[in-house]
Amino acid sequence: MRTKGIAMSARARFVATPPLAPVVAYRLPSDVRSVGWARRELRRRLRLWGVGGEVASSAELLASELVTNAVRAHVGQSAAAAAIGVRFALAGDRLRLEVRDVSDGVPVVSGSTGVEEEGESECGRGLVLVDALASGWGVVWDGTGKVVWAELTVTAPGVL
């Protein structure tokens, strides 16, 4: 059998290309521009994976907060530590966002309302959003930094 200039066995069959793997990881510069890039890439991946609506909107907001925190954590670090890691994974009904930085600082959720009193730091308010929107979140330390992760429940999973 000959198809489009390719010699094939008579028993050969074309197989559909499998969907994109529902896990991607990136290494980004520790720069504020990485926040927008990560958000846009997550939006693109979620479209490819068939995830939209409120879950996609919440995921973009969570990714923005986590990447912003990682960029802030790198302030004052050496040039060798100038990159952050970002990973997005879809497994079953769970969307997991992970952001790695070199800081050993502990992420802290400020006040339950997220409203800072006059003169207080802005840090910690983004984690109030993470805590409110994510179905779960946490931190894993590995000796050279940490990974802050957040998960969302995908009620109608897309293409896996």
Report residue 16 as tokens: 């559909």
Average pLDDT, the chain: 80
pLDDT band at 3 (very low <50, low <70, confident <90, very high): very low
pLDDT interval class at 79 (50, 70, 90): low
Cα Rg, the chain, nearest whole Å: 20
What single string gives the DSSP state of each residue in the chain?
-EETTEE--TT----PPPPPPSEEEEEEESSTHHHHHHHHHHHHHHHHHT--HHHHHHHHHHHHHHHHHHHHHTTT--GGG-EEEEEEEEETTEEEEEEEES--PPP----TT-PPPTT--STTHHHHHHHHH-SEEEEEE-SS-EEEEEEEE-SS----
- The pLDDT tens digits of the residues spanning 96-135 come to 999 999 888 888 777 644 433 333 445 556 889 899 999 9
pLDDT of residue 75: 78
Task: Give per-residue pLDDT as tens, 43-59.
Answer: 999 999 999 999 999 99
Closest by CA to 147, choosing from 102, 94, 82, is: 102
Weakest-pLDDT range from 12-21, 35-44, 76-85, 106-115: 12-21
Token pair, residue 87, equals: 């990973």
With cut-offs at 50, 70 and 90, classify the pLDDT of residue 68: very high
Label residue 143 by pLDDT band (50, 70, 90).
confident
CA atoms within 13 A of residue 86's CA, in its CB half-sphere? 27
